[in-house]
A and B are shown apart, each in its own frame.
Chain A
Amino acid sequence: MTEWIWLVIALPALGTVFLHFFGRRIGEPYAGWIASATIGSSFVIGLIAAVPFLRGEAHAETVYLFDWIPALGAHAELLWDPLSALMVLVVSGVGTLIHVYSIGYMHGDERFGRFFTYMNLFATSMLTLVLANNFAVLFLGWELVGLCSYLLISFWFTRPAAAAAGKKAFIVNRIGDFGFMIALMLVFTTFGTLSYSQVLENPGELLGAGTATAVGLLFLVGAAGKSAQIPLYVWLPDAMEGPTPVSALIHAATMVTAGVFVVARTAPIYALSETASVAVATVGAFTALLAATIAIAQRDIKRVLAYSTISQLGYMFVGVGSAAYVAGMFHLMTHAFFKALLFLGAGSVIHAMADEQNMNKMGGLFGKMKITGWTMAIATLAIAGIPPLAGFWSKDEILGTAFEKGGFYYLLWAIGLLTALLTAFYMTRMFILTFLGKPRWAEGVHPHESPRTMTVPLMVLAALSVLGGLVNTPFRLGLEHFLEPAFEGVELAHAPEGALLWILAAVSVLAGVVGILMAAALYLGPEERRERLLGQIRRPWFAMENAYWVDQMYGRTIVIPGKKLSIWAAFTFDNGVIDGIVNGVGVLVQRLAAALRPLQTGLVRNYALVLAAGVVGLVVWFLSSGGL
């Protein structure tokens, strides 16, 4: 089956091309079903090809397709190992559910066919990224994912905010790519090839510790762009301008996981540099905390989830930055389940509320939308880290490993723990404001449960959010055994064992429970008490609500000065100075010509003569300077 693994990419690619030309004619709902079928087939193929890994009897294989850029050692070549297998399954599995859901969600959109063209392209790109066997193909997928985010975020391009958000996503990602590209330059200069097989086999042979640190930090810059970490996370909250299934795809299955994946993929390089690894974990921890505090005060349901994604990605960075690659990938997987569920559930709510996203105008929806409500409740508990749901196992493994590493990592553990409390708080707050309490709906809104195409994916994801964590528990480390071959030669960090394990687990569960109870007390309790308590922390609350004005700060320190520089360069310097000199010389020559009027005969042949004389003079000069 492995030699057919390219079909995983080719099928959605074919879907993209087909729907590009015929999507409009095919129309609703078949365009959506075709797109779902292609990505669904990718999942099935991936599953069949992964069976040998599950049995633990296969090893990594590369599949050569054709030469791409020979001078860089970059062929169109795929790598099928447990890590890419896991990513393929998550991307295509969750992706398929989101595709199916979109058939219902995008009902009635005049560019229905085009939407699925882009969705299939998104899947194609992400699958290329994870299946690459060299950094050039990785970069191909990496950039195409950026393209797709651009296309889908600005899908409703007649809305200026959507168009601007799409552009912002692409450009901020490109800033990250700047670092990524320099990392690739370093890798190529050091190894003379971009092929994983040569670079990652035994990087220490050619890569000194200093260069390894540089490469690791530069990959981190790229990863921070794609995975929305400090300081490049600002594009992700705006990305919700796209249709909600797009947010689900970006936040859960594709795109943002790319950064985490790259760190895991290049683990042999990070293994050479403690500095780079600590940097990854530190960025992750602080991003997790920062984003969680912002999520607390948001009113827009999708914004809460957006900041929650940033925060959860932070956990994954802590994981892979602590050399707990399995834990990081584990959280990537469980997060894909419950975050896809949360976004799709939010979409279901928004759908029901006639495109209302402000939670202050929701409330009391539980009775009206039972399936959405229940599944969202499950997702909330899963992300809050309540056992035995998926999020508990993966988050706890990351925190446990950080604690076990000790030293500086104690701090990261503490930050992670605090974030866990905040996470439980803001998620419970979101759930209460949306589903419980009295309805605060606008007039003319009649909430209703969503159609089957939307609720079935919700239920599947809810099941995965409950059971997904069981693949890797302290009792049975299934995922770890599965992934281990992919990290051969890399020393993996582990969670503690014995009593400490249970104490740490108890502490983090406690944090989650406290968060939930605090939110419940605040938002289910009397309104007047809430007003009073929030009034006491009005200022910090206001800052959190406005995301600490980071966007505005970037605007003032980068965008506006940049524009001013550009205006100065274009109009003052280029038009004024440089072209001024050019034209000045022209005028000078004319004046000179006027003074030498008698010589000016107006005959072209005289000018030609002068030119020829000049040339002769120059020839003589060149020859004489040559010592002839």
Chain B
Amino acid sequence: MTDFTDEQIQRYSRHIILPEVGGKGQKKLRQAKVLIIGAGGLGSPAALYLTAAGIGTLGLVDGDVVDLSNLQRQVLHTTDRIGAPKVESGRQLLEALNPDVNLVLYPEHVGAPNILDLLADYDLVLDGSDNFSTRFLVNDACYFAKKTLISGSIFRFEGQLLTIKPHAGYPCYRCLYPEPPPAGLVPNCQEAGVLGVLAGTIGILQANEAIKEILGIGESLARHLLLYDALDMSFRKVARPKDPACPLCGTSPTITTIQDTLVSCSLQTQP
């Protein structure tokens, strides 16, 4: 505790008072390095709560600029910052919230050429991306780089959440979904519509699971998929076994390098 200032002890007092966190846990949070992919609907609330929680280093990756249609759910951004790079817009709010956090900004799009470099300095990754190509790429890269990944995704009124750590013997994303859908079969663009609050719900749950992984408390979502339905107001957990036939982390893998998977966007309302 001695290396926290009085001000920091006060700032994190509601954490420190929890036996599950304490000064020791708060120190773990300060030592943690978390990379958030996407400063959008999921990344915004996750970044806000992780910053508030005193995560030591927070990386934010996003190559887009703020658009008026983002503001219905992307709470890092504000009307006066339309047109600004999202990571820069995010920085303004996050720095004002907690100057203790070392923010690292990556105003770039994620792809096979840069993903491993992006991950290299981090312990834990949050995927808040908006397309299948990036999700499969991030899963594969985290597998090769042995990084824990907290994956959240949203569609209309439904959300999915899972913790991925195959390096610790747990299933990967491809154990759950071996391949992305072929182009045109699943709507995966923001134009399909999403309840703004849903992004907050799932993004905050990603931050929750990240903090649990860092502190090593509670039950990890590494063996389950959490399904949330905002209309039914139901949370369900289904089993997510490790697949011995997984093309990435199975016994005879067919994916051995990082590659971009091309999946185009479509507005057709089919799975």
Are the chains A and B members of one assembly? no
- Residues of A at under 8 Å CB distance from B? none
